């Protein structure tokens, strides 16, 4: 590593209510698909680290589950991941949706982060969906809170995140890198595989199925010319099993083929994926089941 006394390194949590574009923001800053994205709320269920490295800085972004009032154990865990991320941060990015801001969840989360004595930035996202007057009103509303800066943008349409990265860096401490500078995430390949399969399910099915689903990779074998993976798709009820399989198995085939393609893009090798469907009634409400499925 080159000695650089101006090197900055710090942790940045990205928080907001569900579906505002937290994961999209992190992926676009990193130019990598680290977190899964979907048009449905509550896509992210863990704290997902994404690490930006260059000669001047290492920024460890913490993408978090969307803020909500937990109604069952899984959502309690999701809130816990969000709260833990806040504790570990040097800077908090609060992001919201220009069309819907301010909702009750926005206000509750603003209250929660107001108690944390850390620098905060606000991002009013999805301005491609509102007119200029609305954007300006909402910027002024955000300026009522304790933010170092309030920015408005469309994460989807922004090409150059350089200025945002510079703004973020200014609030990070002068520290040497915390992680190896080749690292982009600290999560294992099995985790990414689980998320890729879950993302397919979020894209293919409506309402209930994505929320009742979790995926666990049971085996991951790297062979000379291919990678062979076996994963269980866990559901809550027998009736959901038929939906996931689809007529003549067409749905499960689609999940498998799309996932194989995505995993192949990630690992650059042929991928053979075996999927098994299992039922654990009400797993989302059971602490032990959650632990078993990796929500620790
Ligand atoms: N129109 C528009 N849509 C956006 C923008 N940014 C993100 N989206 C869309 O918003 C949806 C949700 O994006 P995510 O990144 O999954 O949102 P999230 O905040 O991580 O959601 P959770 O993980 O569920 O909390 C996706 O369909 C994105 O494509 C934007 O700037 N403009
Ligand atoms: Mg997300």
Domain CATH number, residue 129: 3.40.50.300
Same domain, 126 and 204: no
The pLDDT score that the predictor gives to residue 257 is 98
Sign of the CA dihedral running 222, 291, 45, 216 = positive
Q: Are residues 121 and 84 in the same domain?
A: yes
pLDDT digits (tens, 9 = 90+) for 187-207: 999 999 999 999 999 999 988
Residue with the nearest Cα to atom 8 of ligand 1? Answer: 21
Residue 3 has pLDDT above 90, yes or no: no
In the listed set 141, 169, 197, which residue is the last one of a domain according to the structure? 169
Per-residue confidence (pLDDT) for residue 207, from 0 to 100: 83
> Residue of the nearest CA to atom 30 in ligand 1?
126
How far, in Å, is the centroid of ligand 1 from the Cα of 100?
13
- What is the domain count for the chain? 2
Using the predicted structure, report yes or no on whether residue 2 has a pLDDT greater than 60: no
pLDDT-above-90 percentage for the chain: 97
Quick one: pLDDT band at residue 1, thresholds 50, 70, 90? low
Query: Domain range spanning residue 55?
Result: 8-169
Find the mean pLDDT for residues 291-295.
96
Task: Provide the pLDDT for residue 122.
Answer: 98
Residue 73 has pLDDT above 90, yes or no: yes
- Choose the final residue of a domain: 107, 137, 169: 169
Q: What is the pLDDT of residue 175?
A: 96
pTM of the model: 0.96
**Mean pLDDT of the chain, nearest integer:** 96
Contact 30, 52 (CB under 8 A): yes
216-250 pLDDT, tens digit per residue, is 999 999 999 999 999 999 999 999 999 999 999 99
Contact 48 CB / ligand 1 (< 6 Å): no
Has residue 179 been placed in a domain? no
Q: What is the CATH number of the domain that holds 269?
A: 3.30.300.20
Q: Both 53 and 163 in a single domain?
A: yes
Kindly state whether residue 183 falls inside one of the protein's structural domains.
no
Same domain as 195, residue 152: no
**Position 25 in a domain:** yes
215 and 262, same domain (yes or no): yes
pLDDT for residue 5: 82
Residues 127 and 34 in one domain: yes
CA 19 to ligand 1: nearest atom: 21
Instruction: Return the pLDDT at 242.
Output: 95
Structural domain includes residue 174: no
Q: What pLDDT, in 10s, does the model give residues 160-191?
A: 999 999 999 999 999 999 999 999 999 999 99
Q: Indicate whether residue 43 lines ligand 1 (CB < 6 A).
A: yes
Q: What is the C-alpha separation between 119 and 121, in angstroms, rounded?
A: 7
Residues 30 and 84 reside in one and the same domain:
yes
Give CB contacts under 8 A, 24+ apart, made by 103-108.
103/17, 105/17, 105/18, 105/66, 105/67, 105/68, 105/69, 106/16, 106/17, 108/67, 108/69
What distance in Å separates the CA atoms of residue 141 and residue 247, rounded to the nearest whole number?
50
Task: Please indicate, yes or no, if residue 184 is contained in any of the structural domains.
Answer: no
């Amino acid at each position: 590593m080159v000695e650089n006394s101006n090197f900055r390194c710090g942790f940045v949590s990205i928080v907001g209510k569900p579906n505002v574009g937290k994961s999209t923001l992190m992926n676009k800053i990193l130019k990598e698909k680290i977190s899964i994205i979907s048009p449905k709320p509550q896509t992210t269920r863990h704290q997902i680290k994404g690490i930006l490295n260059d000669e001047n800085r290492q920024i460890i972004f913490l993408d978090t589950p969307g803020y909500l009032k937990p109604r069952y154990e899984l959502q309690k865990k999701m809130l816990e991941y969000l709260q833990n991320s806040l504790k570990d941060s040097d800077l908090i990015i609060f992001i919201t949706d220009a069309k819907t801001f301010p909702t009750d969840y926005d206000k509750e989360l603003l209250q929660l982060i107001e108690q944390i004595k850390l620098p905060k930035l606000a991002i009013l996202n999805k301005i491609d969906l509102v007119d200029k007057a609305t954007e300006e009103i909402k910027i002024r509303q955000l300026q009522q809170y304790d933010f170092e800066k309030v920015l408005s943008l469309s994460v989807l349409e922004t090409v150059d995140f350089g200025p945002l990265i510079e703004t973020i860096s200014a609030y990070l401490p002068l520290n040497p890198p915390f992680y190896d500078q080749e690292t982009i995430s600290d999560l294992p390949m099995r985790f990414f595989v689980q998320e890729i399969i879950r993302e397919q399910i979020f894209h293919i099915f409506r309402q209930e199925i994505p929320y009742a689903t979790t995926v666990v990779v049971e085996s991951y074998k790297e062979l000379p010319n291919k990678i062979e993976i076996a994963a269980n798709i866990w559901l809550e009820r027998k009736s959901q099993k038929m939906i996931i399989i689809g007529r003549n198995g067409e749905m499960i085939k689609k999940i498998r083929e799309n996932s194989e393609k995505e995993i192949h893009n990630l690992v650059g090798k042929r991928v053979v994926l075996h999927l098994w469907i299992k039922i654990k009634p009400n797993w989302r409400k059971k602490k032990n089941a959650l632990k078993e499925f990796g929500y620790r």
